[in-house]
Amino acid sequence: MQLNDTAAIVTGGASGLGAATAAALAAKGAKVFAFDLPASIEGATAPEGVELVPVDVTDPEQVAAGVETAAGAGVPLRTVVSCAGIGPSMRILGRKGPHDLAFYAKVVQVNLVGTFNVMTLAAEKIAATEPLEHGQRGVVINTASIAAYDGQVGQAAYASSKGGVVGLTLPAARDLAQFGIRVLTIAPGIVETPMLATVSDEFRAGLAAGVPFPQRLGRPDEYAQLAVNLVEHDYLNGEVIRMDGALRMAPR
C-alpha cells in the first residue's frame, strides 16, 4: 500500500517510537496526525507533514474527536500506528504488600484498552474509504513488547497489557478482513526511548550486552522503518513481529 496522499494516525507521536514513526510516514508522503498527551506535546516540534493532536488514548471522546480530525483531512485515512504506552513496574507481592489493583488497571487501560479503542474507531473510518487493489483499504499496526513473552520480575501489569495486544492481533485481523484492513503488531525489545533517558550509561551498557546481535539497544528509527515496511507489504497480516536482536529476557 502506498502512503503518498493518504492520512495516518500515530499515537504517542510526540516522542520516542511514535515521533520517529510519524516522521517516517510523513517522509513517504502521508499526512500524519500524531496523538499524544498535552503535556507531551508542549515543547515538541513536529516535522513537516505531521500535526500534533492532543489526545489521551484512555478518553473515548478525545480519541473519537482525533480520529474524526484525521478522517476529515481531505485524503483517505489508511494507516494507524499505536505507540502510546506506559511501563511502570510493581511486584505482585512486594515489601509494601500486594500489587495495587488501580495501578494494574491503569497500565492495562493505557496499553491495551487504549490501543483497542484507537484501532476500533479508526477502522470504522478506514472501512468507509474507497477500496484499492484487491479490496485493500488500510492497515493498523499495534505495539506490544517482548515482555509479552518474557515478562520480568515486576512486570506483571506491563506484560499482561502487552500480552493482550499480542492476543488481539489475529482476531482483529480476522474481524477486519472483510473491510480490507490488515492488522499487525510489532514487539520491540529494548529500544532507546525517553523511558530509558533516566538510567546511567553503565546500566544502558549492561542492557545492550544482553542482546545476542547486534549487541546494542534498538533505535526508534528502526521501529519506524519496520512500521513503514509493514504498511507497504500487502501480504503481511495477523502477525506479530519481534524487533529485538534475538533477545530473550531473563527473569530479572
DSSP for 153-203, please give it.
TTBHHHHHHHHHHHHHHHHHHHHHGGGTEEEEEEEE-SB-SGGGTTS-HHH
- Give dist(CA 116, CA 80) in Å, integer: 12
Residue 65 lies in a domain: yes
Q: Which of 104, 149, 158, 223 is catalytic?
A: 158
Domain of 177?
Answer: 7-243
Helix extents (H) in the chain: 16-27, 38-41, 60-71, 101-108, 114-127, 147-150, 156-176, 201-209, 220-232
* Global pTM exceeds 0.85: yes
Q: For 3-60, write each residue's pLDDT tens digit.
A: 999 999 999 999 999 999 999 999 999 999 999 999 999 989 999 999 999 999 999 9
Number of domains in the chain: 1
Residue 77 lies in a domain: yes
Name the grid cell of 184.
499487525
pLDDT at 194 over 80: no
For residue 250, give the C-alpha cell: 531473563
Instruction: Look at residue 249 and tell me if it is in a domain.
Output: no
pLDDT digits (tens, 9 = 90+) for 80-106: 999 999 999 999 999 999 999 999 999
- The pLDDT value recorded for residue 38 is 96
- State yes or no: is 223 an active-site residue: no
